[in-house]
Amino acid sequence: MPSTPAHPAVRPVVFVEGVRTPFGRARPDGIYAHTRADDLAVKALREVLRRHPELPPERIDEVAFAATTQTGDQGLTLGRTVGVLAGLPASVPGYAIDRMCAGGMTAVTTTAAGIGVGAQDVVLAGGVEHMGRHPMGAGADPNPRFAAERLVSADALDMGKTAENLHDRFPALTRKRADAFGVASQAKYAAALAAGKIDPDLVPVALRDPDRGWGLATADEPPRPGTTLESIRGLATPFRPGGRVTAATSAPLTDGAAVCLLAAEETAAELGLGARMRMHAFAYAGVAPEVMGLGPVPATRRVLARAGLTIDDIGLFELNEAFAVQVLAFLDAFSIADDDPRVNPYGGAIAVGHPLASSGVRLMTQLARQFAERPDVRYGLTAMCVGLGQGGSILWENPHHREYDGYRPAATTTSPKNEVL
């Protein structure tokens, strides 16, 4: 009688490296106005490889790349095309993925699941969004049944209106609180930048402007240092007359790319790769599309339940700031103060920008750097809301913590100096 093969055990997955391009404003005079989206992705991917010469490129088993608007220079199976353009061996496969704002996050969790069951050992996962060239939803044709059969609210496809809906639903989420949160995001980012905590994760990007010639992007373009409550008090509310959501409490439209390297823990040890974080659990959840900003709340409850932890076990939070009110709704749901130092210590998307599908990997990269600074913290969380009513949440474990029982690299080093690729 033939034997029955044993099911493989789930293997631990580690986050080895994460990098991103500087983020640019999505407008005709933005730094990436004349740069292709796939070229941004290639820059980030090649930087990951440059930082890890110990990784034989042929050992990469998959490239998963996300974009929300998959057309033009963001189309054509990004994972495969970016891998080819970056010089990976032809044997390395790739694919594209879309979960709107959580595209990069989903690229990470999907490939991590593959590692966990033994289908892959080493993967590259990331996201790119050139919102200046491809505004969210451009070219999309929503089915008329959504409106005709009232399957979703008319607000569901307007992210700014969904943010206003959160203010409506929860009166405690005032404009005053949102304004204060937006100002704090700018201040925290500026402090992190001055302290040298942002630049190590950036890869400079060469630029060519037909009018100005060659240039170099080395810093994020969206931040507005020095923002004060007084300076934003009179801002318009573009999503609703007399509303509460303003440019100061929303992530700006942004261009950029981010990529990370994941590996099975045993493979990382074999190849001598780093282990900056270990994935502990992940979850996604759906909510009513017209209040999509609530998505991270049930997703986080789900991931904590799966891990057997509580919110008090989380020592660091990287929450995507699509809108201030969305983060505040999360904080209130878990009884966390607006100014809790565990939350977005380097600031967030309100300051740095939100190039949709790439933002999830930015959150992870920042959390990994904070883990190295905080060996007293064992668990951290990256979470974000998703258009059309979803949320995603990933629980990570800090390899620098005394109770960590996995692979520890011999030494933790800072990333090599960036070079222009």
Q: How many CA atoms lie within 13 A of 107 on its CB side?
A: 37
Query: One of 101, 130, 167, 260 is an active-site residue; which one?
Result: 101
Catalytic residue among 134, 167, 354, 400: 354
Catalytic choice (130, 260, 385, 400): 385
260 is catalytic: no
52 noted as active-site residue: no
Q: Is 101 a catalytic residue?
A: yes
CA distance 331 to 343: 9
Q: Which residues are catalytic?
A: 101, 354, 385
